[in-house]
A and B are shown apart, each in its own frame.
Chain A
Amino acid sequence: DVKVTQSSRYLVKRTGEKVFLECVQDMDHENMFWYRQDPGLGLRLIYFSYDVKMKEKGDIPEGYSVSREKKERFSLILESASTNQTSMYLCASSLIGTGDNEQFFGPGTRLTVL
């Protein structure tokens, strides 16, 4: 019953390349999130979206952009990958609103930038 999927589990790119990370959820959630996970730093929010074509910056948006053309899909874009963007990237989705809205996470994409 996998509900949030990410396009790749592992990705290796070169410095300067444009990188696309894709996330798809099948729970009809309004909210979608992109996090970066680094040891000792927890989960840091890059961007989130609460509706199609809507986006808001998180805590560390520099060097990233996002796209949400359809409700179920949220893409993270690294315009020009750099070595300091080597990390684990986690996508999540949740219902909108102020209830107990659990975030469901994808399996993660481990990106290495050489």
Chain B
Amino acid sequence: GENVEQHPSTLSVQEGDSAVIKCTYSDSASNYFPWYKQELGKRPQLIIDIRSNVGEKKDQRIAVTLNKTAKHFSLHITETQPEDSAVYFCAARPYNFNKFYFGSGTKLNVKP
């Protein structure tokens, strides 16, 4: 089955700096890659996603890149703000499956 690895497990940045979180996956049949943000005490919520036929997607300060050949995808947050502090999860979903495989999470701390 699919295996998703996520790095780093914790990331601390200064407000205004950029943050990058990386994930790798094992199943070449995976074709959908969402990213979820979980603030302290709250439920995970989708912040951005990408399909395998696209190399990059942006939404304001957030972007996701996908390298199908190398089987890795990354979340990029620019101009970080304290409200970006949260746990971020990547996930992969193999084609024709309804299951998501989640990474282990990255705790991002943005210092004011």
**Which residues of A approach B to under 8 Å, CB–CB?**
4, 31, 33, 35, 40-45, 48, 50, 58, 90, 94, 96-98, 100-103, 105-108
Contact = CB atoms under 8 A, between A and B. Distances in A.
B98 A50 contact: yes
A90 B36 CA distance: 14
B43 A105 contact: yes
A103 B49 contact: no
A-B interface, 5 closest residue pairs, ranked by CB to CB distance from nearest: A42-B104, A105-B43, A43-B102, A42-B102, A102-B46
B99 A105 contact: no
Contacts of A58: 99
A67 B95 CA distance: 26
Nearest to A96: B98
A102 B34 CA distance: 8
A40 B103 CA distance: 10
Contacts, number: 54
A42 B103 contact: yes
B99 A98 contact: no
Given A43-B105, A44-B102, A105-B43, 5 more contacts: A50-B98, A90-B44, A94-B98, A103-B34, A105-B45
B9 A40 contact: yes
Contacts of A33: 99-100
Contacts of B6: 42
Contacts of B43: 4, 90, 105-108
B51 interface: yes
A34 B7 CA distance: 24
5 contacts: A42-B6, A42-B103, A90-B44, A97-B98, A103-B100
A98 B95 contact: yes
